[in-house]
Amino acid sequence: MNQLVATRAWLRRNLFSDLFSGMATLLLLAAAVYWLPGLIDWMLLQAVFKADAGACQAVNHAGACWGVVAEKYRFILFGRYPHAEQWRPLLATALLLLVIVASGLRLSSRRSLLAAWALALPAFFMLTGGGSFGLTPVGSDQWGGLPLTLLLATMGMLMAFPLAIAVALGRQSRLPLLRGLCTLYVELVRGVPLISVLFLASFLFPIVLPQGVSIDVLLRVQAGIVLFAAAYLSETIRGGLQSIPAGQHDAAAALGLGRWQAMRWIILPQALRAVIPSMMNSAVSVFKDTSLVTVVSLYELTGSLSLALAGDAEWRSFHLEGYLFIGLIYWTGCYAMSRFSRGFESRVDAGGTAI
Amino acid sequence: MSSQGRQNLALQAALAAGLLALLWWLLDVTAANMAERGIRSGFDFLRDPAGFAIGESLLPFDSADSTLWALAAGLANTLRVGLPAIVISTLLGTLIGLGRLSTNLLLRALCAGYVEALRNVPLLLQLLAWYFVVTDLLPLASEALQLAPHVFLSKSGLSLPWFGGDGGLFDLPLRGEMGIAGGAALTPEFLALLLGLSLYTAAYVAETVRAGIQSVPRGQSDAALALGLTRVQLFRLVLLPQALRSIIPPLTNQHLSLTKNASLAVAIGYPDLVSVANTTLNQTGRAAECIALIMAVYLILSLLAAWLSAWLEHRSGRWAQRT
C-alpha cells in the first residue's frame, strides 16, 4: 500500500506536477508510441546485418543496412592501410587507448604512467610506420581511419599543452612585447576557422620551408591542429592562473621561492588542477575537429568512410548507416571524456583535491 | 633607469631582433621558393575575371565578374546561411535549455538526450549525413513531399511560397511532371548546412542557457515564489534579467563559432566564403593571399561580434536594473 502511495507521489512529482507537465507527458508518450515502433523496425527488425548488397537493396531502406558496416568495417577503421598489415595499427591503437584510459582513471602510479606514455607513443609510430623489427615500411600517406584520428587528437593535445602553458605565462609576462605577441597569437587563432589554419598548414607551410626540406602533409596538418588547439587551451590555463589568489604568490615569495620556483611548485599545479574540466572540453573539441583534416586529403575516420563508400556503386546508397556507425565511435569517445570531466568536477565539489 | 628596467628593455630588444631575423629569413626562403616555382604574389588577381561559376548566390554573379566580387558573393552566402542559423539555434537552444530545467522527467530526459547526442558527434559528420539524407533519401522533385500547402521537399531542395511572381502578391510553387516550378527554392546544400549548423549549435546554446539560469542563486526563486509571483512572472522578472548577464557573453561566442563553422560548407559544396576562396586558391595558386583574405574577414567578423556583445551586455545590465 505504501509502495503504491510512493509510486503515485513520484508520478505526480515527475510527470504530472501541473497542467503543462501533464500535457507534456501525454504528448511525449503519444509521440513515442507513434515513432518508436517504426524506428525499432528500421534499426533491428527489418535491418540487414549480413554483408549482402543484394539483400540490402531488396529491403530498399525500409530497414537499415548494417551489412555495409560488416562489409566495409576494415576500410572504414583503417583507411588505405595495407590489408594484410592492419593488425599493426590495430595493436598500436589498442596500446594508445589503454594508456589513455589508464591515465584517465589513474590506474597506476604517476611514474609508471609516464613510462607507459614514453613507451606507447614510439611503439605507435614503430608499429604503424614499420621499417624496423622486420615490419614492412608503410608511408604516412597510407595511414588512415581510427588510428589516424586517435593519433591526431592525442598528439594534438599532448603538444598543444606545453605550448599553451608557455603562451598563458607569456601573457602574464612583465615584457610588454612578449605579452603583446602572445595576445596577438591567441586572438588571431581564435578568430579564424580551423579550416583556414589547415589550409595554411597544407598549402603555405611548404612554401616557407627552405629548399630540400620537405615535411609530409600529416606532420604539417598535425602542426596546424597543435597551433589551433594551443590558442584555446592557453585561454583556459590563463583563466586557471587568474583564479589563484594573490596570497599564494605572496606566501611563496615569503618562503623565499623565486618567481619561477613559485610558478612551478605553487601556482601552476593549482591553476592546472582548477581547469581540468575545461581542458577535457578542449580535448573533446580537438577529437571532433580531427574530422576536418579530410578537407585537406588526410583520410581519418570520416574521410576513410567516404573513401570506402563513395566509389562503390553497390554500397553507396547506404552512407547513412556508415555515418551512424562512425558517429557512434566519435560519440563514445566524446561521451567518455565528458563523463570523466563531470566525475572529476563532482569529486572536487565533494571536498578538496581530486588528484 | 633601474637595473630591472634596463634588463626588461634588453630582453625585449633581443626578442624583437630574434623575431625580425626569423621573419626576414622566412620571407627570404619564401621569395626564393616562389621564384623557383614561378608563383607570383600580390592581390592583382582580385580584379581579374573569376572564371568559375558559383552554384547559388545572393548577389548577382557571373563567371565574367571579378574575383573580388566572387569572394563578396561567398561572404554574402556565409551570412545568408549564418544569420538564419543563429536565429534558429538560439530559439531552439533556449527551448531545450529550459526543457532541461523542467519539472517533467520525460521532457528533461529528452532535452538532455538531444544535447548529449548532438554535442558529441563532429559537426562535419552531421553535415555530411544531412546532405546525404536530403540528396539521396528524399524523393525526386516530381514526387516531392508536400509539407504544407505549396511547400515541397525533395532531392532538389525545399520550395516555399515567396513574394512576387506574375499573378499576385505571392509566387506559389506547384508540383508538376517535370518537378517543381515557382516560388523560392532552397538548395540541398543550403538546407543541409542550415539544418546541421542550427541543430548542432542549439545543443551548445541549450547548455549556455541552462548554466545561465542555474547560476542565479536558488534563494532568488524561493523568495519570488514566497512573494506570490507565478512561475511565469518568476521567470520573466527574476530569473531572466539576472541570467541574461551570464548568458550573453558565451552566447555571442556560440554565434561566432557558428559563423566559423559555416566554413565547413566547403565539404558539401555550398559556396560560402571559404569554398569560393578555396576555388580561387586552386585556380590562381595564390595560397597566401587567399588564406589571408579568409582570415582577415573572419577576424573582422569576430571584432564586430565582440563589439556587439559588449553593447548587448551593457544594455542587458541597464534592463536588469530597470525591471
DSSP letter assigned to residue A312 = -
In angstroms, the separation between the Cα of residue A89 and the nearest Cα of chain B is 23
Provide the residue type at B264 as one letter: L
In angstroms, the separation between the Cα of residue B101 and the nearest Cα of chain A is 12
Please give the residue of chain A at the shortest CA–CA distance from B302.
A191
- Say whether residue A320 is in contact with chain B using an 8 A CB cutoff: yes
Scanning A328-347 for CB atoms below 8 A from B yields 330-331, 334-335, 338
Whether residues B30 and B78 fall in one domain: no
- Say whether residue A218 is in contact with chain B using an 8 A CB cutoff: no
Whether residues B194 and B102 fall in one domain: yes
Which helix or strand (DSSP H or E) is residue B207 part of? helix B188-214
Residues A254-298 pLDDT 10s: 998 888 888 888 889 899 988 888 899 999 999 999 999 998 888
- Cβ A288–B260 below 8 Å, yes or no? no
What whole-number distance in Å separates Cα of residue A191 and Cα of residue A188? Answer: 5
Phi/psi of residue B176, nearest 5 degrees: -130, -170
- Cβ B274–A327 below 8 Å, yes or no? no
Scanning B244-273 for CB atoms below 8 A from A yields 260-261, 263-264, 266-267
- Cβ A28–B110 below 8 Å, yes or no? yes
Residues A110-169 pLDDT 10s: 888 899 899 999 999 988 888 888 788 888 888 889 999 999 999 999 999 999 999 999
Residues B172-196 pLDDT 10s: 777 776 677 777 788 899 999 999 9
A299: burial class by Cβ within 10 Å (0-12, 13-18, 19+)?
Answer: buried
More confident residue, B47 or B77: B77
In angstroms, the separation between the Cα of residue A254 and the nearest Cα of chain B is 20
- Cβ B104–A203 below 8 Å, yes or no? no
| Cell numbers describing residue A199 | 589550409
Residue B2 has pLDDT above 70, yes or no: yes
Which of B34, B105, B263 lies closest to A195 in CB terms? B263
Kindly give, in sequence order, each residue whose CB lies less than 8 Å from that of residue B212, ignoring residues fewer than 6 positions away. Answer: B243, B244, B246, B247, B250
Domain that holds residue B13: 3-39
Dihedral angle, C-alpha A50, A54, A58, A62, nearest 10 ° = 40
CATH value at residue B248: 1.10.3720.10
Terminus-to-terminus CA distance in chain B, angstroms?
54
Q: Which fold has domain A46-81+138-350?
A: MetI-like fold (1.10.3720)
Residue located via cell numbers 588547439:
A229
- Cβ A28–B121 below 8 Å, yes or no? no
Provide the residue type at B249 as one letter: P
Which of A195, A288, A319 lies closest to B122 in CB terms? A288
Average pLDDT taken over every residue of chain A: 88
Whether residues B107 and B30 fall in one domain: no
* Domain annotation covers residue B285: yes
Show residues of chain B in contact with A28, CB under 8 Å: 106-107, 110
Whether residues B26 and B80 fall in one domain: no
DSSP letter assigned to residue B154 = E
- Cβ A291–B122 below 8 Å, yes or no? yes
Chains A, B: CB pairs < 8 Å: 154
What whole-number distance in Å separates Cα of residue B263 and Cα of residue B323? Answer: 40
Whether residues B34 and B74 fall in one domain: no
Whether residues B93 and B194 fall in one domain: yes
pLDDT confidence bin for A92, thresholds 50/70/90 = very high
Whether residues B237 and B306 fall in one domain: yes
In angstroms, the separation between the Cα of residue A204 and the nearest Cα of chain B is 6
Residues A180-234 pLDDT 10s: 999 999 999 999 999 999 999 988 888 887 777 778 889 999 999 999 999 999 9
Residues B82-109 pLDDT 10s: 999 999 999 999 999 999 988 889 999 9
What is the pLDDT at residue B246? 85
Is B94 in contact with B208 (CB distance < 8 Å)?
A: no
- Say whether residue B132 is in contact with chain A using an 8 A CB cutoff: yes
Beta-ladder partners of B66: B49
- Say whether residue A259 is in contact with chain B using an 8 A CB cutoff: no
- Say whether residue B106 is in contact with chain A using an 8 A CB cutoff: yes
pLDDT confidence bin for B321, thresholds 50/70/90 = low
Provide the residue type at A251 as one letter: A
Nearest to A68 by CA among A87, A83, A55, A78: A55
- Say whether residue B105 is in contact with chain A using an 8 A CB cutoff: yes
Whether residues B21 and B102 fall in one domain: no
- Say whether residue A203 is in contact with chain B using an 8 A CB cutoff: yes
Beta-ladder partners of A89: none
Scanning B32-91 for CB atoms below 8 A from A yields 32-34, 36-37, 39
Q: In chain A, where are the structural domains located?
A: 1-45, 46-81+138-350, 85-137
Phi/psi of residue A231, nearest 5 degrees: -65, -45
* Domain annotation covers residue B46: no
Residue A175 has pLDDT above 50, yes or no: yes
- Say whether residue B235 is in contact with chain A using an 8 A CB cutoff: no
Residue A349 has pLDDT above 80, yes or no: no
Show residues of chain B in contact with A288, CB under 8 Å: 120-123
What is the pLDDT at residue B320? 57
More confident residue, A69 or B41: A69
- Could you tell me what percent of chain A has a pLDDT over 90? 41
Global ipTM: 0.90
What whole-number distance in Å separates Cα of residue B187 and Cα of residue B160? Answer: 11
What number of residues does chain B have? 323
What whole-number distance in Å separates Cα of residue A43 and Cα of residue A45? Answer: 7
- Cβ A207–B106 below 8 Å, yes or no? no
What is the pLDDT at residue A354? 40
Show residues of chain B in contact with A284, CB under 8 Å: 120
What whole-number distance in Å separates Cα of residue B36 and Cα of residue A126? Answer: 36
DSSP letter assigned to residue B166 = S
In angstroms, the separation between the Cα of residue A200 and the nearest Cα of chain B is 7
What whole-number distance in Å separates Cα of residue A192 and Cα of residue A249? Answer: 35
Which helix or strand (DSSP H or E) is residue B158 part of? strand B157-160
Using CA atoms, how far residue A133 sits from A123, A126, A129, A130, A140, in Å, is 11, 9, 11, 8, 18
In angstroms, the separation between the Cα of residue A11 and the nearest Cα of chain B is 9
